[in-house]
Amino acid sequence: MITIYTTNWCSSCNYAKKLFDELSLDYQEINIESEDISREQLLKLTGGYSVPQIIINDKAIGGYDNLLFLYQNNKLNQLINNDE
């Protein structure tokens, strides 16, 4: 399961969602502005203040740069397919 915490104005959020869409991966988007989630609450939920914050199979991987690193190093599928 993939969860991505976003805001309306975040270009990195859009890049992350585009990558998931291109890979035909389902994800749950939680817009912290729409859901009235503070940055402090986001930190408690994900371990990070900035958006996007991406959670894959209950593991916080960080933001778009971390996602891109995992993808480019052929580690994303392994993380997604890891049934914990």
Q: CA 11, 31, 3 angle in degrees (round to 5)?
A: 90
Task: Give the domain CATH number at 46.
Answer: 3.40.30.10
40 token code pair: 């402090």
Question: CA 2 → CA 17, 38, 57, distances in Å?
Answer: 11, 21, 6
Specify the pLDDT at position 83.
53
Specify the pLDDT at position 84.
45
Averaged pLDDT for residues 32-38: 97
pLDDT grade for 82, boundaries at 50, 70 and 90: confident
**pLDDT above 50: residue 13:** yes
Domain extent for 62: 2-80
> Using CA atoms, how far apart are residues 61 and 47, in angstroms rounded to an integer?
9
| Average pLDDT of the chain, as a whole number | 95
Entry pTM: 0.93
DSSP 84: -
Q: Domain tally for the chain?
A: 1
Q: Is 3 in contact with 46 (CB distance < 8 Å)?
A: no
